[in-house]
Structure 1
Amino acid sequence: MKPVTLESIRIFLAVAEARSFTAAAIRLGVTPAAASKAVKLLEAQHGVIVFVRNTRRVALTEAGSVLYASLLAASSQIDDAFAALTRFRDRPAGTLRLTVPRALGALVLRELAPRFQRAYPDVSLDMSLDDGEVDLLEQGFDAGIRLGQSVAQGMVAVRLTGDLAWSVVASPAYFARAGRPRVPEDLVRHETVRYRFHRSKALAPWAFLRDGERFQVETGHKLVVNDTGLIADFSRSGLGLAYLPDIEIAHDLADGRLERVLDAFIPKTSGLFLYFAARTQSQPKLRAFIDMATADGLLSRSLAGSIGA
């Protein structure tokens, strides 16, 4: 048996209320013949007559009256359900799911999330901290925040910050024990704490710049993790050199817990971007987040404050 369609239910209810196929058809914008055919199909599918028809009037049978009473309540719920959709169309509402890098994402959201919640109380923020690559559509996220080079192809990317400065750092205790590298090539004789990408399993490269040419150095390492916050912890503990963004270790640099080396050789990298699939950006909840995140350099000022703290 074919399932009853919402359209046939709509026609049945309209005919029952108007007691006329013609009046119901006019109300629904269909022909009287189409309305009659839909009702006849419904009756045939279920083997029950729901209307008594003659040349002057249309009346519900007993079975039709029972069906009408049941469907009327259900129809009201369906109408309410579709009416509720307008709140997602007309104003920011619902749940906005975001994936952000652990340390850098926390810096961004510490400033942005409270402000967004105050401005849009009908939107719930569901934030996942993950440094790895994430397929937004596959994993059900509305948007993500990543460094520019980590944004997947085919996504719309909106810049949130300027380029980021990075440093090779270690604790004073490590430098006292192992000395300071003077050129990037010296790193092969040092212990380093390296970052491994979650999905590709590759080690994040340590990139340097000399005479306008970029190059990489492979380092000795006994510690490899996929969390930059833990890398900073290990480096503070004297376990080796780390390659980290300045905004993540600003307080350590200011307090002397970590010290820089090789400054002259380290290039900046692309800043943070908010990215999302093109077809999702029309959602009011995401549009509101995009507008706030990019408004008046809010995040760049916030992150600059973190560096200067």
Structure 2
Amino acid sequence: MKTKLNDLIAFIAVAEEESFTRAAARLSVSQSALSHTIKGLEERLGLRLLTRTTRSVSLTEIGRKLYDSVAPRLTEIESELDSLNALKDSPAGTIRISTAEHAARAFVWPKIVAFMREYPDINIEMTIDYSLTDIVAAKYDGGVRLGESVEKDMIAVSISPTMRMAVVATPAYFEKFGKPVEPRELSEHNCINLRLPTYGRLLVWDFEKDGHDVNVRVEGQFTANKSSFIRDAALQGIGLAYVPEDMVLEDIREGKLERVLEPWCDVFPGYYLYFPNRSQYSPAFSLFVEAMRQPLSGEQE
């Protein structure tokens, strides 16, 4: 009996994704081909590795034992292969990063563009994701989050200045409905909500002034799961938006939006690139981390 390495890779993908559809997409193969591969592996082993229902896929007890034994070893093999890039004249490999949209557009993407031009043999895969993704389980090399959200067991590298939020709307909106002067008055306004993927909850608007914290759950006509659409909705006069201030500073300067509650919007730690604490990193990833550390033109170090 001979088991191919690709069969084990396919099995691990299905086990981690708990779905033939998602695993097939991850491996860039058809769902039917993946199903055939897993069926052949089970037949050669004479063991049932997965329990399939119409809605889910889960490991059997034997499947779990195989996964726990094989997955760490394949991860080690992948790490060793990546380390071979150190023997090449120019660093190479693929770096996978998970990040939220605002962080990507404002800080990550400009640095990635410059990085790829300097290192043409290094490939970057960037996934826009608002959920608190487990980057280890999802096999990302690193993730980008606000500093207050990074797990303590991760290495974290600052990649942006400190930040502030801004509450904004069009001059026409304020002329018609008035301006809130303290956070509790937001309940009287049409506020644009951000839907977070984590538990499907809405973003709470956090404020602080003179050591006094106020957390407001707002309501309004429009909800989106991307901050760029929230800014666009504010520009269209839909209501008040709560967004990172760098997204709307130009709109404010041009008079398209006006800001309220500014004294209540305190600074907080910016974005961090975070990654697992390992003994070794590929040369490509080490270069990437150093590039992310560097401030963009015009930023304060």
> Aligned partners of 1:88 and 1:237: how far apart in 2?
52
Structure 1 pair 303–172 and aligned structure 2 pair: CA distance change class (3 A): farther
Distance 2:87 2:195 in 1: 41
Per-residue Cα deviation, 1:80-116 (whole angstroms, up to 9, x for no partner): xx99962256663111111121123112134201211
| Cα gap change, 1:177 to 1:245, in 2 (>3 Å) | same
What is the DSSP-based 3-state SS (H/G/I as helix, E as strand, rest coil) of the residue aligned with 1:288?
helix
- What SS does structure 2 have at the residue aligned with 1:125? strand
Q: CA deviation at 1:168?
A: 0.6
Tell me how far apart the structure 2 counterparts of residues 2 and 273 of structure 1 sit (CA, whole Å): 45
Matched, 1:86 2:104: no
Which segment drifts farther, 236-245 or 158-167?
158-167
Q: Indicate the residue corresponding to 2:111 in structure 1.
A: 112
Q: Secondary structure at the match of 2:136?
A: helix
Paired AA for residue 117 in structure 2: R
Whether the 8 Å CA contact 2:144–2:273 is kept in 1: the answer is yes
Instruction: State the match for 1:131 in structure 2.
Output: 130
The C-alpha deviation readout for 1:239-259, integer Å capped at 9, x for no partner, is 111111111222222222211
1:289 aligns with 2:293: no
Judge conservation of contact 1:89–1:283 (CA < 8 Å) in 2.
Answer: no
User: Structure 1: which 5+ runs fail to align?
Assistant: 4-81, 305-309
Q: Deviations over 1:25-84 (max 9, x none)?
A: xxxxxxxxxxxxxxxxxxxxxxxxxxxxxxxxxxxxxxxxxxxxxxxxxxxxxxxxx999
CA distance in 2, matches of 1:83, 1:109: 26
Work out whether 1:149 is the aligned partner of 2:148.
Answer: yes
User: Take 1:185 and 1:84, find their aligned partners in 2: how far apart are those partners?
Assistant: 53
Query: Corresponding residue for 2:246?
Result: 247
TM-aligned CA deviation for residue 140 of structure 1? 2.1
Q: How does 1:57-76 map to 2 (within 5 A)?
A: none
Residue 195 of structure 1 is matched in structure 2 by: 194
Q: In the TM superposition, what is the alpha-carbon distance from 1:193 to its structure 2 partner?
A: 0.5
- What residue number does 1:55 align with? none
Q: Quick check: 2:193–2:202 contact (8 Å CA) kept in 1?
A: yes
CA-to-partner distance for each residue in 1:281-307, whole Å, 9 max, x for gaps? 622111101111113xx23x4557xxx
Pair 1:121-2:120 in alignment: yes
Partner Cα separation in structure 1 for residue 131 and residue 82 of structure 2? 36
**Alignment match, 2:224:** 225
Which moved further from structure 2: 190-199 or 216-225?
216-225
Paired residues, number: 223
- Equivalent position SS for 1:191: coil
**Counterpart in 2 of 1:236?**
235
Q: Distance in 1 between matches of 2:83 and 2:155?
A: 25
| Contact 1:181–1:262 (CA under 8 A) maintained in structure 2 | yes
| 2:151 maps to amino acid | A
Letter in 2 for 1:204: L
Partners of 1:237 and 1:88 in 2: how far apart?
Answer: 52
**Greater CA deviation, 137-146 or 147-156?**
147-156
Q: 1:247 and 1:141 mapped to 2: Cα distance?
A: 28
- Relative to structure 1, is the Cα distance of residues 168 and 158 closer, same or farther in structure 2, using a 3 angstrom cutoff? same
SS where residue 136 of structure 1 aligns? coil
Q: How does 1:267-278 map to 2 (within 5 A)?
A: 267-278=266-277
**Inter-partner Cα distance in structure 2 for 1:84 and 1:133:** 26
For structure 2, the residue ranges without an aligned partner over 5 or more in a row are 4-79
* Separation (CA, whole Å) in 1 of partners of 2:183 and 2:82: 60
1:103 and 2:102 matched: yes
Partner Cα separation in structure 2 for residue 89 and residue 166 of structure 1: 46
Distance 2:82 2:103 in 1: 36
Which has the higher Rg, Structure 1 or Structure 2? 1
The answer to whether the 8 Å contact 2:83/2:282 transfers is no
| Preserved CA contact (<8 Å) 1:168 1:262 | yes
CA offsets 1:121-161 (integer angstroms, 9 cap, x no match): 11011111222221112222111111112323422111112
Q: Note closer, same or farther for the CA distance 1:2–1:191 as it changes in structure 2 (3 Å cut).
A: closer
Q: Which has the higher helix share?
A: 1
